[in-house]
Structure 1
Protein backbone atom coordinates (compact mmCIF):
# COMPACT_ATOMS: atom_id res chain seq x y z
CA UNK A 1 0.00 0.00 0.00
CA UNK A 2 1.13 3.56 -0.75
CA UNK A 3 -0.24 6.37 1.43
CA UNK A 4 0.34 10.11 1.37
CA UNK A 5 -0.68 12.95 3.66
CA UNK A 6 -0.80 16.25 1.80
CA UNK A 7 -1.11 19.80 3.09
CA UNK A 8 -2.78 21.89 0.39
CA UNK A 9 -3.21 25.67 0.03
CA UNK A 10 -6.08 27.08 -2.01
CA UNK A 11 -6.03 29.94 -4.46
CA UNK A 12 -8.17 32.89 -3.27
CA UNK A 13 -11.85 32.13 -3.68
CA UNK A 14 -11.42 28.42 -4.36
CA UNK A 15 -14.03 26.04 -2.95
CA UNK A 16 -12.78 22.80 -1.33
CA UNK A 17 -15.83 20.91 -2.64
CA UNK A 18 -15.03 21.88 -6.22
CA UNK A 19 -11.38 20.99 -5.70
CA UNK A 20 -12.36 17.57 -4.34
CA UNK A 21 -14.16 16.78 -7.58
CA UNK A 22 -11.21 17.95 -9.68
CA UNK A 23 -8.75 15.85 -7.68
CA UNK A 24 -10.89 12.74 -8.00
CA UNK A 25 -11.04 13.23 -11.74
CA UNK A 26 -7.26 13.71 -11.88
CA UNK A 27 -6.18 10.67 -9.84
CA UNK A 28 -9.19 8.33 -9.63
CA UNK A 29 -8.23 6.39 -12.75
CA UNK A 30 -4.62 5.76 -11.77
CA UNK A 31 -3.66 2.08 -11.28
CA UNK A 32 -4.18 0.92 -7.71
CA UNK A 33 -6.21 3.96 -6.61
CA UNK A 34 -8.16 3.20 -3.43
CA UNK A 35 -9.08 6.36 -1.55
CA UNK A 36 -9.07 10.16 -1.63
CA UNK A 37 -10.23 12.43 1.18
CA UNK A 38 -10.03 16.22 1.20
CA UNK A 39 -11.01 18.23 4.27
CA UNK A 40 -10.92 21.97 4.97
CA UNK A 41 -8.71 22.57 8.01
CA UNK A 42 -10.59 24.20 10.88
CA UNK A 43 -9.68 27.39 12.79
CA UNK A 44 -7.00 26.74 15.39
CA UNK A 45 -4.69 24.64 13.24
CA UNK A 46 -1.02 25.54 13.54
CA UNK A 47 1.68 25.34 10.89
CA UNK A 48 -0.82 23.81 8.47
CA UNK A 49 -2.29 24.68 5.08
CA UNK A 50 -5.90 25.35 4.09
CA UNK A 51 -6.79 21.69 3.55
CA UNK A 52 -5.64 18.18 4.40
CA UNK A 53 -5.61 15.73 1.51
CA UNK A 54 -5.12 11.99 2.01
CA UNK A 55 -4.37 9.59 -0.82
CA UNK A 56 -4.14 5.78 -0.76
CA UNK A 57 -2.99 3.48 -3.57
CA UNK A 58 -2.31 -0.23 -3.74
CA UNK A 59 1.26 0.56 -4.82
CA UNK A 60 3.48 3.57 -5.44
CA UNK A 61 1.94 5.42 -8.41
CA UNK A 62 5.32 6.98 -9.22
CA UNK A 63 5.89 10.12 -11.23
CA UNK A 64 2.47 9.99 -12.84
CA UNK A 65 0.88 11.10 -9.55
CA UNK A 66 3.10 14.18 -9.40
CA UNK A 67 2.12 14.96 -12.99
CA UNK A 68 -1.59 14.63 -12.19
CA UNK A 69 -1.28 16.86 -9.10
CA UNK A 70 0.60 19.59 -10.93
CA UNK A 71 -1.36 22.73 -11.84
CA UNK A 72 -4.64 21.57 -10.31
CA UNK A 73 -7.25 24.35 -10.69
CA UNK A 74 -7.97 25.82 -7.27
CA UNK A 75 -4.77 24.53 -5.65
CA UNK A 76 -2.01 27.06 -4.98
CA UNK A 77 0.52 24.70 -3.36
CA UNK A 78 0.76 21.07 -2.26
CA UNK A 79 3.23 19.61 0.22
CA UNK A 80 3.22 15.82 -0.09
CA UNK A 81 4.36 13.39 2.59
CA UNK A 82 4.45 9.68 1.84
CA UNK A 83 4.59 7.49 4.93
CA UNK A 84 5.11 3.95 6.18
CA UNK A 85 2.95 2.74 9.08
CA UNK A 86 4.71 1.91 12.37
CA UNK A 87 1.70 1.04 14.50
CA UNK A 88 -1.83 1.99 15.42
CA UNK A 89 -5.21 0.73 16.47
CA UNK A 90 -8.96 0.85 15.90
CA UNK A 91 -11.48 1.50 18.63
CA UNK A 92 -14.33 2.56 16.35
CA UNK A 93 -13.70 1.44 12.75
CA UNK A 94 -17.21 2.44 11.66
CA UNK A 95 -16.78 6.02 12.86
CA UNK A 96 -18.38 8.64 10.60
CA UNK A 97 -18.75 12.40 10.70
CA UNK A 98 -15.86 12.98 13.10
CA UNK A 99 -12.64 14.96 13.26
CA UNK A 100 -9.47 13.90 11.43
CA UNK A 101 -6.27 15.12 13.06
CA UNK A 102 -2.85 15.08 11.37
CA UNK A 103 0.28 15.97 13.35
CA UNK A 104 3.54 16.14 11.40
CA UNK A 105 6.68 16.01 13.55
CA UNK A 106 10.29 16.86 12.82
CA UNK A 107 12.82 15.17 15.10
CA UNK A 108 16.13 16.87 15.85
CA UNK A 109 19.07 15.69 13.75
CA UNK A 110 21.04 14.66 16.84
CA UNK A 111 18.31 12.32 18.14
CA UNK A 112 19.57 8.87 19.06
CA UNK A 113 17.84 5.62 18.01
CA UNK A 114 16.87 5.05 21.67
CA UNK A 115 15.25 8.47 21.87
CA UNK A 116 13.31 7.89 18.67
CA UNK A 117 12.16 4.50 19.94
CA UNK A 118 10.94 6.05 23.20
CA UNK A 119 9.06 8.79 21.36
CA UNK A 120 7.34 6.20 19.16
CA UNK A 121 6.50 3.94 22.10
CA UNK A 122 5.05 6.70 24.28
CA UNK A 123 3.07 8.23 21.43
CA UNK A 124 1.45 4.91 20.62
CA UNK A 125 0.51 4.52 24.31
CA UNK A 126 -1.61 7.69 24.28
CA UNK A 127 -4.89 5.96 23.30
CA UNK A 128 -4.59 3.66 26.32
CA UNK A 129 -5.03 6.74 28.52
CA UNK A 130 -7.05 9.05 26.23
CA UNK A 131 -10.29 7.29 25.36
CA UNK A 132 -11.44 10.07 23.05
CA UNK A 133 -8.92 8.89 20.46
CA UNK A 134 -11.18 6.53 18.55
CA UNK A 135 -8.67 5.35 15.91
CA UNK A 136 -4.97 6.12 15.52
CA UNK A 137 -1.82 5.52 13.51
CA UNK A 138 1.82 6.57 13.81
CA UNK A 139 3.95 6.40 10.68
CA UNK A 140 7.46 7.21 9.53
CA UNK A 141 7.58 9.81 6.77
CA UNK A 142 9.59 8.53 3.80
CA UNK A 143 11.08 10.08 0.71
CA UNK A 144 11.77 13.76 0.15
CA UNK A 145 10.06 15.47 3.09
CA UNK A 146 11.05 17.84 5.86
CA UNK A 147 9.09 15.80 8.42
CA UNK A 148 10.06 12.68 10.40
CA UNK A 149 6.74 11.21 11.57
CA UNK A 150 3.01 11.66 11.03
CA UNK A 151 0.66 11.00 13.96
CA UNK A 152 -2.96 10.60 12.80
CA UNK A 153 -6.04 10.29 14.96
CA UNK A 154 -9.81 10.14 14.51
CA UNK A 155 -12.17 11.70 17.06
CA UNK A 156 -15.95 11.56 17.30
CA UNK A 157 -16.15 15.32 17.86
CA UNK A 158 -13.93 18.39 18.07
CA UNK A 159 -14.27 18.61 21.84
CA UNK A 160 -12.50 15.27 22.26
CA UNK A 161 -9.42 16.73 20.54
CA UNK A 162 -9.45 20.24 21.99
CA UNK A 163 -10.55 19.09 25.43
CA UNK A 164 -9.56 15.64 26.66
CA UNK A 165 -6.65 15.05 24.28
CA UNK A 166 -4.83 18.36 24.65
CA UNK A 167 -5.56 18.67 28.38
CA UNK A 168 -4.94 15.07 29.43
CA UNK A 169 -2.17 14.57 32.04
CA UNK A 170 -0.51 11.87 29.95
CA UNK A 171 -0.27 14.36 27.09
CA UNK A 172 0.99 17.50 28.85
CA UNK A 173 2.58 15.81 31.85
CA UNK A 174 4.51 13.09 30.03
CA UNK A 175 4.57 13.13 26.20
CA UNK A 176 4.92 16.92 26.08
CA UNK A 177 8.49 16.72 27.35
CA UNK A 178 9.57 15.52 23.90
CA UNK A 179 8.14 18.74 22.42
CA UNK A 180 9.22 21.33 25.00
CA UNK A 181 12.75 22.81 24.63
CA UNK A 182 12.82 23.51 28.38
CA UNK A 183 12.98 19.76 29.08
CA UNK A 184 16.22 17.76 28.84
CA UNK A 185 14.39 15.15 26.73
CA UNK A 186 13.39 17.71 24.08
CA UNK A 187 13.37 15.94 20.72
CA UNK A 188 10.72 17.42 18.39
CA UNK A 189 11.75 20.85 17.15
CA UNK A 190 8.84 21.63 14.78
CA UNK A 191 5.26 20.47 14.16
CA UNK A 192 2.30 20.95 11.84
CA UNK A 193 -1.04 20.53 13.64
CA UNK A 194 -4.02 20.15 11.28
CA UNK A 195 -7.57 18.95 11.86
CA UNK A 196 -10.63 18.83 9.66
CA UNK A 197 -14.00 17.05 9.41
CA UNK A 198 -14.17 13.63 7.74
CA UNK A 199 -16.99 11.53 6.34
CA UNK A 200 -15.79 8.01 7.19
CA UNK A 201 -12.79 6.43 8.88
CA UNK A 202 -9.59 6.49 6.85
CA UNK A 203 -7.65 4.46 9.40
CA UNK A 204 -10.04 1.54 9.23
CA UNK A 205 -9.06 1.29 5.56
CA UNK A 206 -5.29 1.67 6.01
CA UNK A 207 -4.96 -0.59 9.03
CA UNK A 208 -7.03 -3.42 7.61
CA UNK A 209 -4.78 -3.28 4.55
CA UNK A 210 -1.70 -3.42 6.78
CA UNK A 211 -2.90 -6.38 8.87
Structure 2
Protein backbone atom coordinates (compact mmCIF):
# COMPACT_ATOMS: atom_id res chain seq x y z
CA UNK A 1 0.00 0.00 0.00
CA UNK A 2 1.08 3.59 -0.63
CA UNK A 3 1.86 6.14 2.06
CA UNK A 4 0.36 9.58 1.50
CA UNK A 5 0.73 12.99 3.15
CA UNK A 6 -2.35 15.16 2.72
CA UNK A 7 -2.47 18.87 3.40
CA UNK A 8 -5.97 20.03 4.34
CA UNK A 9 -7.55 23.10 5.91
CA UNK A 10 -9.05 21.19 8.84
CA UNK A 11 -9.56 17.64 10.04
CA UNK A 12 -12.54 16.01 11.71
CA UNK A 13 -11.25 13.40 14.15
CA UNK A 14 -14.44 11.33 13.85
CA UNK A 15 -13.81 11.08 10.11
CA UNK A 16 -10.14 10.29 10.71
CA UNK A 17 -11.11 7.44 13.03
CA UNK A 18 -13.84 6.17 10.71
CA UNK A 19 -11.44 6.08 7.78
CA UNK A 20 -9.05 3.90 9.79
CA UNK A 21 -11.66 1.12 9.55
CA UNK A 22 -12.20 1.54 5.81
CA UNK A 23 -11.27 -1.65 3.90
CA UNK A 24 -9.02 0.27 1.51
CA UNK A 25 -7.09 2.05 4.28
CA UNK A 26 -4.16 0.67 6.25
CA UNK A 27 -3.54 3.67 8.50
CA UNK A 28 -5.25 7.00 9.19
CA UNK A 29 -3.83 9.71 11.45
CA UNK A 30 -4.26 13.48 11.36
CA UNK A 31 -3.91 16.67 13.34
CA UNK A 32 -3.94 20.43 13.11
CA UNK A 33 -0.68 22.27 12.41
CA UNK A 34 0.85 23.60 15.61
CA UNK A 35 2.01 27.23 15.94
CA UNK A 36 5.36 27.60 14.22
CA UNK A 37 4.33 25.52 11.22
CA UNK A 38 4.95 27.24 7.87
CA UNK A 39 3.64 26.67 4.36
CA UNK A 40 0.72 24.38 5.14
CA UNK A 41 -3.04 24.60 4.86
CA UNK A 42 -3.96 24.06 8.49
CA UNK A 43 -3.69 20.31 9.06
CA UNK A 44 -1.77 17.21 7.97
CA UNK A 45 -3.46 13.88 7.34
CA UNK A 46 -1.23 10.79 7.06
CA UNK A 47 -2.81 7.89 5.16
CA UNK A 48 -1.85 4.48 3.87
CA UNK A 49 -4.03 3.40 0.95
CA UNK A 50 -3.86 2.30 -2.66
CA UNK A 51 -6.96 4.35 -3.46
CA UNK A 52 -6.91 8.01 -4.45
CA UNK A 53 -7.22 9.51 -0.94
CA UNK A 54 -9.59 12.23 -2.16
CA UNK A 55 -12.06 9.55 -3.25
CA UNK A 56 -12.37 8.29 0.32
CA UNK A 57 -15.18 9.44 2.64
CA UNK A 58 -14.31 12.47 4.74
CA UNK A 59 -11.22 13.50 2.77
CA UNK A 60 -11.62 16.97 1.23
CA UNK A 61 -11.64 16.87 -2.55
CA UNK A 62 -9.27 19.86 -2.66
CA UNK A 63 -6.64 18.32 -0.36
CA UNK A 64 -3.06 18.38 -1.59
CA UNK A 65 -2.28 14.66 -1.77
CA UNK A 66 1.41 13.71 -1.91
CA UNK A 67 2.24 10.00 -2.53
CA UNK A 68 5.53 8.77 -1.07
CA UNK A 69 8.23 6.28 -2.01
CA UNK A 70 10.39 5.85 1.07
CA UNK A 71 14.12 5.64 0.33
CA UNK A 72 15.38 5.41 3.93
CA UNK A 73 13.79 5.04 7.34
CA UNK A 74 14.39 4.04 10.95
CA UNK A 75 11.76 2.98 13.46
CA UNK A 76 12.42 3.95 17.09
CA UNK A 77 9.45 2.70 19.15
CA UNK A 78 8.42 4.62 22.24
CA UNK A 79 5.16 4.94 24.13
CA UNK A 80 2.90 7.91 24.59
CA UNK A 81 2.18 11.18 22.81
CA UNK A 82 4.62 12.71 20.40
CA UNK A 83 5.21 15.39 17.79
CA UNK A 84 5.09 14.32 14.15
CA UNK A 85 6.95 16.72 11.86
CA UNK A 86 6.60 16.77 8.06
CA UNK A 87 8.84 18.78 5.73
CA UNK A 88 7.74 18.94 2.10
CA UNK A 89 10.30 20.37 -0.30
CA UNK A 90 11.23 20.76 -3.95
CA UNK A 91 14.70 20.19 -5.38
CA UNK A 92 15.26 22.51 -8.32
CA UNK A 93 14.81 21.12 -11.81
CA UNK A 94 18.08 20.23 -13.49
CA UNK A 95 19.93 19.35 -10.29
CA UNK A 96 22.38 16.53 -11.17
CA UNK A 97 21.45 13.13 -9.77
CA UNK A 98 24.70 12.82 -7.83
CA UNK A 99 24.03 16.15 -6.11
CA UNK A 100 20.51 15.03 -5.17
CA UNK A 101 21.97 11.85 -3.68
CA UNK A 102 24.46 13.89 -1.60
CA UNK A 103 21.59 16.01 -0.30
CA UNK A 104 19.65 12.87 0.58
CA UNK A 105 22.63 11.33 2.36
CA UNK A 106 23.24 14.50 4.40
CA UNK A 107 19.58 14.45 5.42
CA UNK A 108 19.57 10.75 6.27
CA UNK A 109 22.63 11.27 8.49
CA UNK A 110 20.84 13.78 10.73
CA UNK A 111 19.54 11.19 13.24
CA UNK A 112 23.12 10.00 13.79
CA UNK A 113 23.92 13.42 15.23
CA UNK A 114 20.62 14.75 16.61
CA UNK A 115 19.46 12.65 19.54
CA UNK A 116 15.92 14.05 19.76
CA UNK A 117 14.92 12.50 16.41
CA UNK A 118 13.10 9.22 17.04
CA UNK A 119 11.41 7.43 14.12
CA UNK A 120 12.11 9.07 10.76
CA UNK A 121 11.68 8.57 7.02
CA UNK A 122 13.00 10.27 3.91
CA UNK A 123 10.87 9.78 0.80
CA UNK A 124 10.75 10.88 -2.78
CA UNK A 125 7.41 11.87 -4.23
CA UNK A 126 5.91 9.10 -6.37
CA UNK A 127 5.53 10.90 -9.68
CA UNK A 128 3.49 8.02 -11.13
CA UNK A 129 0.69 8.78 -8.63
CA UNK A 130 1.16 12.49 -7.92
CA UNK A 131 -0.97 15.18 -9.51
CA UNK A 132 0.58 16.68 -12.62
CA UNK A 133 0.67 20.06 -10.86
CA UNK A 134 2.68 18.76 -7.92
CA UNK A 135 6.20 20.17 -7.75
CA UNK A 136 7.20 18.53 -4.47
CA UNK A 137 10.12 16.16 -4.86
CA UNK A 138 10.90 15.00 -1.29
CA UNK A 139 9.23 14.58 2.10
CA UNK A 140 11.32 14.38 5.29
CA UNK A 141 9.41 13.11 8.34
CA UNK A 142 10.42 12.73 11.97
CA UNK A 143 8.86 12.02 15.35
CA UNK A 144 9.90 13.75 18.58
CA UNK A 145 8.95 13.25 22.20
CA UNK A 146 7.93 16.91 22.39
CA UNK A 147 8.12 20.18 20.46
CA UNK A 148 11.31 21.20 22.29
CA UNK A 149 13.10 18.31 20.60
CA UNK A 150 12.22 19.83 17.21
CA UNK A 151 12.48 23.55 17.92
CA UNK A 152 15.50 23.16 20.18
CA UNK A 153 18.15 20.56 19.43
CA UNK A 154 16.98 19.70 15.91
CA UNK A 155 16.71 23.18 14.42
CA UNK A 156 19.70 24.56 16.35
CA UNK A 157 22.09 21.62 16.03
CA UNK A 158 25.51 22.34 14.44
CA UNK A 159 25.09 19.42 12.03
CA UNK A 160 21.84 20.94 10.77
CA UNK A 161 23.46 24.32 10.13
CA UNK A 162 26.73 22.95 8.75
CA UNK A 163 25.60 20.13 6.47
CA UNK A 164 21.89 20.50 5.77
CA UNK A 165 20.94 24.17 5.87
CA UNK A 166 23.31 25.00 3.00
CA UNK A 167 21.12 23.00 0.64
CA UNK A 168 18.28 25.42 1.48
CA UNK A 169 20.25 28.69 1.69
CA UNK A 170 19.99 30.79 -1.52
CA UNK A 171 23.34 32.40 -0.70
CA UNK A 172 25.15 29.06 -0.51
CA UNK A 173 26.84 27.50 -3.57
CA UNK A 174 25.27 24.18 -2.48
CA UNK A 175 21.74 25.61 -2.68
CA UNK A 176 19.33 23.27 -4.53
CA UNK A 177 16.05 23.45 -2.54
CA UNK A 178 13.44 25.93 -3.71
CA UNK A 179 12.15 28.38 -1.07
CA UNK A 180 8.50 27.22 -1.06
CA UNK A 181 8.84 24.55 1.63
CA UNK A 182 6.16 23.32 4.03
CA UNK A 183 7.50 22.86 7.58
CA UNK A 184 4.59 21.33 9.50
CA UNK A 185 4.25 19.66 12.86
CA UNK A 186 1.36 18.32 14.87
CA UNK A 187 0.54 16.34 17.98
CA UNK A 188 -0.15 12.60 17.86
CA UNK A 189 -1.22 10.27 20.65
CA UNK A 190 0.87 7.35 19.42
CA UNK A 191 3.13 6.09 16.63
CA UNK A 192 2.57 7.46 13.15
CA UNK A 193 5.59 6.41 11.10
CA UNK A 194 5.97 2.99 12.68
CA UNK A 195 2.25 2.31 12.16
CA UNK A 196 2.40 3.53 8.58
CA UNK A 197 5.42 1.48 7.66
CA UNK A 198 3.80 -1.64 9.13
CA UNK A 199 0.57 -1.03 7.25
CA UNK A 200 2.24 -0.19 3.93
CA UNK A 201 4.48 -3.26 4.03
CA UNK A 202 1.89 -5.79 5.15
CA UNK A 203 -1.37 -4.35 3.92
CA UNK A 204 -2.97 -5.04 7.31
CA UNK A 205 -4.92 -2.25 9.02
CA UNK A 206 -2.87 -0.33 11.59
CA UNK A 207 -4.39 2.92 12.77
CA UNK A 208 -3.60 5.64 15.27
CA UNK A 209 -4.93 9.14 15.71
CA UNK A 210 -4.35 12.12 18.00
If the TM-score is normalised by the length of the shorter chain, which range does it land in? 0.7 to 0.9
> Shift in Å at residue 35 of structure 1?
1.0
Structure 1 residue 96 corresponds to structure 2 residue 80: yes
- Count of aligned residue pairs for this structure pair: 195
Structure 1 residue 67 corresponds to structure 2 residue 55: yes
Tell me the equivalent position of 2:183.
193
Tell me the equivalent position of 2:160.
171
TM-score by length of 1: 0.85
- Please tell me the root mean square deviation across aligned C-alpha atoms, in Å: 2.0
More strand by percentage: 1
> Shift in Å at residue 96 of structure 1?
2.5
Contiguous gaps of at least 5 residues in structure 1: 11-15
Call closer, same or farther: CA 1:156–1:106 in 2, change over 3 Å: same
Partners of 1:88 and 1:207 within 8 A in 2: no
> Helix, strand or coil for the counterpart of 1:205?
helix
> Helix, strand or coil for the counterpart of 1:111?
coil
> Shift in Å at residue 68 of structure 1?
2.5
Contiguous gaps of at least 5 residues in structure 2: 203-210
Tell me the equivalent position of 2:135.
146
Bigger relative contact order, structure 1 or 2, given CA contacts below 8 A and separation 6+? 2
Partners of 2:89 and 2:182 within 8 A in 1: yes
Tell me the equivalent position of 1:20.
13
